[in-house]
Structure 1
């Protein structure tokens, strides 16, 4: 790594951009998960049922799936500085609206809209890739993702105490609202302190908007196939809320929402054709091609890694409580160790990918996930508690490391499409979270861990066969029409 990369505690050059970016991501996750540690107070004040609480938790991730796609397109077209500032302002306003809600309906609507803030992650991926060279981008993206993700854990650690300090029945409202104010204030800091690219660099933009560009007939078909799970996950959320499951939606409302998801899918596929239909009649120049299979593989790996993380973090405290003779407080603390590993494992995964190759690192992390979840399926009450916790921590290191290796690869697919690649990959993480939570509802914890390990094994086979290391150069078309070759050291 270059000398500048080691000056982590400086606030100059690209290190300054890195710090400003991970703080923005930290705040966005603080806002996104500010309700979870305060849910008991919210439930008591509104008299919520278990189904209504589960609905709020599900709605919190629903909008993030399409939002990450849309934000990815926006950041490629408009630049990270403007888009991240806008995300923070809007999320701050929605956060204040949630804090002022006086009915379950208002809680549900504002929580659903707040899922939008989870898409802020995508913006920083493009921004960091503009400032760091390929040999360092994995480590930088890992720091950005890992430290930013800690915003969710920080919410759990700090907001209950803050609500208690405010006091009264509305203490939770002031605690939640304060995170919204922080987001709005930091949006101004981010807008005035950040540049999209280093001085003299070109910010490459997609030739067309509304869908990702692909460069061959086969990639067109694969892109269409990879879009299907995004809409199926949204339909799955509607099903979970329908009379067939939680019963929070009526039959008519459910059918209307299914129709909305179908219309969204049709519009998306029409836009994919409008942007890419030319590949069936024209040949894309060799210098402008990229293999979309790389995007598809990164999507699947992130689904197995971040998707399983979302599900495991949700069930682990209760798993410890039911398996061992411990208090609920200790079970919550032990369950939190899984997400805590983000601080070191994501940067670690990115760093190893920078040093030893993206394909090797991704495969290594998937192997660790397979073995880790497989052994976790054997945990029962006869295990020593420290051994069970140690296994969870080790498995988490591989899960978070896989997330780091994925985003070490995302910026190297195609420079001008980095936001869209990051958005689609991030959306697949949420798809995995939704699907795995549904699986969890119908199987035992041991079977659940085996399912996670089995899916990781299947994806490992695909990575081993089809994934490619980034080439030594990539190309982009300059605004004046000339072609620039970009080194990927």
Structure 2
């Protein structure tokens, strides 16, 4: 039967799904190659612990604005050209990074490499074009969960490649080989996919540069929701400042703050200009949507993906510092965490398709909240076994939550899906920056407790304000005819 999901097929929409999750896998493998390569880089170049930490911070900084920009570009130009461009250009920048000689060169190229992490946004739009609403949750979950596994792919393969060369340049060869694979796949991908099934229309926003909204209240909320993105970038700048890590001067610090302020003011102006005209004229019913839906999903992804990135970064050290586990044992136990993505994120999407998106979001956020509040009560006298069980439970719920969020993202407003996905994705990185900064200032139990509290607040927003997408969306084609897209 046509509607039955067949993930073992490599025809039609399934071919697009498999080609696209692997494109995401390759982008994450290149982007997150820095973590497993850092011990090799540090030894080869004699970097201090502070310098290594700065590179890791710079690796995520550019991803925050990049996901917003890429979301706009994918809605305008289409996913095929965007994903291919990100893989090819990202691979070239990554190769350049791997052959830099000075620390300043490494830092600049790693900062630029952060845009590769925006590739995630592109596939969200493409998968939503190929799969009907009743299957979009499981399809997006597989795309996100299996593609995310690129970070594990880098961790498993690249150290082995670097070691096999047996000299100080081993890390350079490893990153170069991964980057060349990404470039080759980007070219292959361009010639292997189309933006929509044959006969379908690729809907684009009327104007680009900011998201179109449906009311003046939504416009105010949209502008307010951009503030956390700038605060996260300011927080990263403070982290590098003389008062924190001392890696940049006070002059550079102030210059960055001023630049961020100017960009924010320009964005507010652009947002107003883009929306003022059509808000004054009145937004046609078929183009209306509630921006509160976007805002709640943004905060939800801040919790789920932010938690995922933050916890996977600190888990091994937590096991070592508090429970004195051997480093290898701790690393293996922490390594379970990214593997959860293979089933938990698709599972969250599948359950959303089957039982309703709001219901599953309420269930998984209850799980995230309770798991991390429980971890917030842990002390060093606990047995390690319930602690491991709680971290795994928290991982399952948070990753299933990411799947449930992106089961709903494509159903809000089809032609803005890239921008909506981009904003949610950027908030995921904001969450990681926020939680990791808190972790550097407090003990592990307080870090876990904060995640539980923030998750509980978002759970209340979901219960009270989030609305289940129902009925259908309508889009107007260029010739004036109306196309109806079923939501359930």
Normalising by structure 2, report the TM-score. Answer: 0.98
- Larger displacement relative to structure 2 (475-484 or 129-138): 475-484
Structure 1: 4+ residue segments shifted above 4 A = 2-5
Q: 1:5 to 1:31 in 2, by over 3 A?
A: farther
1:138-166 deviations in Å (ceiling 9; x for gaps): 00000000000010011111111111112
Aligned to 1:31: 30
Give the 5 Å matches for 1:176-215.
176-215=175-214
1:416-449 deviations in Å (ceiling 9; x for gaps): 0000000000000001111111111111111111
Aligned to 2:287: 288
d(CA) in 1 for partners of 2:279 and 2:420?
22
SS at match of 1:476: strand
1:207, CA displacement in angstroms?
Answer: 0.6
Aligned to 1:249: 248
Aligned to 2:425: 426
1:254-302 deviations in Å (ceiling 9; x for gaps): 1111122112111211110111113552221222210111000000000
1:488, CA displacement in angstroms?
Answer: 1.3
Q: 1:326 to 1:419 in 2, by over 3 A?
A: same
1:117-153 deviations in Å (ceiling 9; x for gaps): 0000000000000000000000000000000001001
Verify: 1:91 aligned to 2:124, yes or no.
no
Aligned to 1:445: 444
d(CA) in 1 for partners of 2:439 and 2:329?
22
Aligned to 1:126: 125
- Larger displacement relative to structure 2 (336-345 or 201-210): 336-345
Aligned to 1:485: 484
Give the 5 Å matches for 1:236-275.
236-275=235-274
SS at match of 2:470: coil
Give the 5 Å matches for 1:7-22.
7-22=6-21
Aligned to 1:135: 134
Whether contact under 8 Å (1:89, 1:183) holds in the other structure is yes
d(CA) in 2 for partners of 1:235 and 1:391?
33
Normalising by structure 1, report the TM-score. Answer: 0.98
Aligned to 2:314: 315
Aligned to 2:226: 227
Unmatched segments (≥5 aa) in structure 2: none
Whether contact under 8 Å (1:126, 1:418) holds in the other structure is yes
Aligned to 1:396: 395
d(CA) in 1 for partners of 2:230 and 2:386?
40
d(CA) in 2 for partners of 1:103 and 1:67?
26
d(CA) in 2 for partners of 1:308 and 1:144?
19
Whether contact under 8 Å (2:31, 2:116) holds in the other structure is yes
Q: What's the C-alpha RMSD, in Å, of the aligned pairs? A: 1.2
d(CA) in 1 for partners of 2:371 and 2:30?
31
d(CA) in 2 for partners of 1:262 and 1:45?
38
SS at match of 1:379: coil
Whether contact under 8 Å (1:142, 1:346) holds in the other structure is yes
SS at match of 2:281: coil
1:39, CA displacement in angstroms?
Answer: 0.8
Give the 5 Å matches for 1:96-175.
96-175=95-174
Q: 1:80 to 1:244 in 2, by over 3 A?
A: same
SS at match of 1:253: helix
d(CA) in 2 for partners of 1:331 and 1:135?
40
1:383, CA displacement in angstroms?
Answer: 3.1
